[in-house]
Amino acid sequence: MKICSYPSFFFGARTAVVAIAIICFASDLRAQGLPLDPGSRKLDPSAPSAGAQADNTFVGRWQCQYMSRSSTGDRSVNYAYYFDLELGAGGRFDAQGNYYAETAGFNQGFRANGQWQSSGDRMVANGQAQLPSWTSPFVFQLTRYSPGNASFQTQTQLGTLAIACTR
């Protein structure tokens, strides 16, 4: 796990907190050798990998939980996505479910889509989530531990990011 550091200024908006945590998450993925283009935060299609089309390990429907939990007591960092995820053989993904922010206290429906690719038992996805009042980067990684289970966890300066998916 990688611990990220940030400039010391206040992130007042929920979008900024989520975005900075996801940027750290993406830098952790790059550090592990997964193909992200650092300039655009999009998957780099020229990067060597088994590729989503060649690797059916992840293709199909998953049910996922993607959570952030503060290590400093900052409740604005605590959020969760509960969603159905469809990983297509062509390298596209679609997700739909609910977003819950502890400070907001209610669920909001969301949709996300983007690109994904894999190498062996690891995959990375990069997309955009759309909620009723805002959009946010939607970046995650999974490692497959058994045919129906995949997860990933990392530590940032703000806290813990974790995702778990089952078929």
CATH at 68: 2.40.160
Strands (E), 5-130: 36-37, 42-43, 60-70, 79-87, 92-101, 107-119, 122-130
| 52 pLDDT above the threshold of 80 | no
**Residue 7 within a domain:** no
| pLDDT value of position 55 | 58
**Residue 5 within a domain:** no
| 29 pLDDT above the threshold of 50 | no
**Residue 23 within a domain:** yes
**Residue 6 within a domain:** no
| 39 pLDDT above the threshold of 90 | no
**Residue 153 within a domain:** yes
| pLDDT tens by residue, 100-154 | 988 876 789 999 999 999 999 999 999 999 998 889 999 999 999 998 999 999 9
**Residue 75 within a domain:** yes
Domain of residue 98, residue span: 14-41+51-166
Number of domains in the chain: 1
24 vs 90, which has greater pLDDT? 90
**Residue 46 within a domain:** no
Under 8 Å between Cβ of 6 and 20 = yes
Average pLDDT over residues 20-34: 44
**Residue 125 within a domain:** yes
